[in-house]
Chain A
Amino acid sequence: MESIIKKSIVLILIISIFSCQVDSNCGSVNVDYVTFSTVTLNANLKEITKNVRFDSVFSPQTDSVFAYQDTSFISSFRLPLSPVENQTDFFFYYSVDIAGDTVSYGDTIRFTYEKRNRVDSPECGIDLEFIGMDTAYQTFDSLIIVNDTLKRTINAPNIKLFIF
């Protein structure tokens, strides 16, 4: 009898360890931005980085301008999605070097997604999660959604933009 009680207590204690989970501390893993990388294909059809210089990047959903007359060339960047609607449009005006010449482009992407609210805590407020991100419309040469999950813990870009 005693041993049954002792074993039951030990079992409950062990399981209680797994029942303990760390309280949240306002450190949400969800992010509100999409990460991009710009790539092209070389002669062997291998993916290589393609640097672009943004003349301007903006969205009709906001007065904010995300890039304006940048001077540096970049191959990765991120843009915030609108929490107000279930879609965000971005207009890109950019330049690339092709065989020593600077060529300018203008392209558009419309992202669609669903929003999922979660109360984190009275102190931390609302945590907004963007799920099921997709493109409803886009004019780039090619585009791949590498992952549609907007989380801080994922290192890979969400979107690969192919520029030829």
Chain B
Amino acid sequence: MRLILSCLFFSLISFSLFGQVPNSSVKTDSVEQKIVEPERPKVPKSFFIPTGVRIGTDLVALGVNTFGNNRQRYELQADIDFHRIYLIGSYGINQYQSSGEGFEYTNNGNYFRVGLAADFLKFDPDHNTLTFGLRYARASFSESLTTDIVSPIYGPYQENLNNDAVSARWFEMTTGLRVMVLKNLYMGYTFRIQLNRKIFNASEFRSYDIPGFGRAEFKNRWTFNYYVTYRIPWKEKKVMERSR
């Protein structure tokens, strides 16, 4: 039911967005008009020289660390501009523990993401960005599970299980916004759709949590980060002039 409602909701949004796109096939006049598109100005090669690096951290992780009891996660993110393409990388460390009826679980590991994002704010000299991008992500972690269970027929039993040197990989489609709030200080979100998760070397029990990804039972999921970043510039950014 939830999936059907989601489909309907997203379908409505999709149709309404397509409704905004001008329909180029509409015939306005019987007289054929030959439209000559103005030649697009070429981007000078010097525009592709990086002008600075942005380094920041995930505030959502810091919030979870402060207000939650189970997880400690810290993430650093950096991006560097090549005109309107950004090379983005992030690295995080993660500790997670959980317990419930008859079990205790701990997880310790790190993760990184690397990828490219295209900026669609073409004429902004302040490095405000609205990006769409792709990432490759990988996590390395170890996890342990201690069970203490009573079978109604076979009696009590305990197990200490360890998955050492587990790794996982997944891909991400992202969209993000960064807005300069003070000189060289930016804030903004990244919305991630995490896809095609695979786990390697989880030999003793099924992985429960993946650093940087979350619950391992899902192959695909989405997540949200809110970053504060500081830009260290070494060159003034040049932008194309808006054509009239």
How far apart are B143's CB and chain A's nearest CB, in angstroms?
A: 9
Contact with B along A2-24 (1 / 0, CB 8 A): 11111011111111111111101
Name the residue on A nearest B132 (C-beta). Answer: A8
Question: With contacts A15-B195, A18-B220, A20-B222 known, is A126 near B120, CB below 8 A?
Answer: no
- Chain B: interface residue count, which band? 35 or more
Name the residue on B nearest A127 (C-beta). Answer: B206
- Contacting pair A15 B3 (CB below 8 A): no
Question: With contacts A10-B18, A22-B2, A118-B208 known, is A123 near B100, CB below 8 A?
Answer: yes
A-B CB pair tally, cutoff 8 Å: 115
Q: Which has the most chain B C-beta neighbours within 10 Å: A2, A4, A5, A19? A: A19
How many A residues face the partner with a CB closer than 8 A?
Answer: 40
Contact of B10 among A13, A82, A117, A126 (CB under 8 A): A13
Cα–Cα, bound, A3→B18 (Å): 9
Give the chain B neighbours of A129 by CB distance below 8 A: 206
Binds A, one of B55-63, B154-162, B228-236: B154-162
- Contacting pair A122 B99 (CB below 8 A): yes
Name the residue on B nearest A128 (C-beta). Answer: B149
How far apart are B121's CB and chain A's nearest CB, in angstroms?
A: 10
Partner-A contacts on B (CB < 8 A): 2-3, 6-7, 10, 13-14, 17-18, 20-21, 98-103, 105, 120, 122, 130, 132, 145, 147, 149, 151, 153-155, 157, 159, 161, 173, 175, 191, 193-195, 205-206, 208, 217-222
Q: Can you list the 8 inter-chain pairs with the closest CB atoms, starting with the nearest?
A: A122-B100, A118-B206, A119-B208, A117-B205, A19-B220, A84-B157, A82-B154, A125-B101
